[in-house]
Amino acid sequence: MERIRTQVRVVEVGPEEDGRKLLSFLEARLGRLPSGLYMRLVRSGQIRLDGRRCKPFDRVQAGQKVRIPPVEVERKEEALPRGSLSIVHEDGDMLVIDKPAGLPVHPGTGWTDSVHGRLDAWQPRPIPVHRLDRDTSGLLLCAKTHRFLRSMHSVWHTVTKAYVCWVEGLWPHGSWHTVISELGKTGTPRGERMCSGHGRRAVSHVHPLRKKDGRTLLVVVLGTGRTHQIRVHLADSGHPIVGDAKYGRGQGLLLHAAALRWPGHSFSALPEWPGPFAPERGCEEEIFSLLAENFPGREDI
């Protein structure tokens, strides 16, 4: 990608950027630069806040002026239109999108398209509040202001995240069943993956919704938020998620983040799965009814 050299700029911190750390502010304004470059520019005094030297983790305030020296950046491709993301809800503080499977939240090796890139259609760019695996579809909450981002981090323990998935086999439990294990990373000939038996405590609450053709549609509520937690817990239970090439077999992971709830807010979106896997009418109401039940409480994620 073509690189260009910018001119000296003085930019004003907007109200929606109030409270961001300086490094986060710079990344949002300029994009990702080589590791450590922002730190060097700040510590050498080339980046200044209201004409004064500053520190990388100082928090900027609305109305402050930030001097940005010339830097080499990649010329940004034209931002994709907002229609390139499916919007479930938008207001002045937040953006809730229905992320398609196969789209990573952040760009990485071999992946240039991402939610992060598509959010360039908004300025300032919203910040994802939580993670969602590339192969998992569903609801992703993004903060449009740093104030909202801080507030969500402080109340994240009150947020209920519910997923739906099809698994192989007939799930043996008829009501809420809690799966608990320790999950950690391990290397295999097929690459890095998560496995049980060591690592951090992981808790998932599972309830069946439908049984059909030797498979079960489940709703899973996270008690913790470990990498690949649902996929490992269900595979270890003998019921891998349909289409899970890493922990089961096949292609096209049928795992979808279907609901986000916290006091005063509730969002949902059912997956658009093909043919026999498509959720039946009334499934959404059933999920919310189950979430209202007194299943075991969450842990801090």
CA 40 – CA 112 distance, rounded (Å): 27
Report the DSSP beta bridge partners of residue 29.
Answer: none
Tens-digit pLDDT profile for residues 114-163: 898 888 878 778 889 998 999 999 999 999 988 899 899 899 888 999 99
Structure tokens at 296: 């075991």
Report the DSSP beta bridge partners of residue 125.
Answer: none
Across the range 207-230, mean pLDDT stands at: 94
Catalytic residue from among 18, 58, 120, 133: 133
Parallel/antiparallel/unpaired status of strands 255-262 and 65-68: unpaired
In terms of pLDDT, which residue wins out, 106 or 178?
Answer: 178
Q: Map out the domains of the chain as residue ranges.
A: 3-74, 86-151, 158-292
- The predicted pLDDT at position 135 comes to 93
* Selection from 160, 289, 136 nearest residue 221 by Cα: 160
- The predicted pLDDT at position 288 comes to 83
Cβ-based neighbour number of residue 300 at 10 Å? 8
* CATH number 3.90.1640.30 given to 86-151: no
Tell me if the bond preceding 124 is cis, omega within 30° of 0. Answer: yes
Is there a common fold for 86-151 and 158-292? no
* CATH number 3.30.2350.10 given to 158-292: yes
Contact 22, 6 (CB under 8 A): no
pLDDT of 297 > 50? The answer is no
* CATH number 3.10.290.10 given to 3-74: yes
The per-residue b/e assignment along 133-167, b for 16 or more CB within 10 angstroms, e otherwise, is bbbbbbbbbbbbbbbbbeebeeebeebebbbbbbb
pLDDT of 88 > 80? The answer is yes
- The predicted pLDDT at position 296 comes to 41
Whole-prediction pTM value?
A: 0.75
* Selection from 183, 184, 260 nearest residue 221 by Cα: 260
Considering the chain, what is the average pLDDT of its residues?
Answer: 85
DSSP state of 123: S
Tens-digit pLDDT profile for residues 245-288: 888 888 899 999 999 999 899 999 999 998 899 988 788 888 88
CA 145 – CA 124 distance, rounded (Å): 9
Contact 10, 69 (CB under 8 A): no
Is there a catalytic annotation at residue 91? no
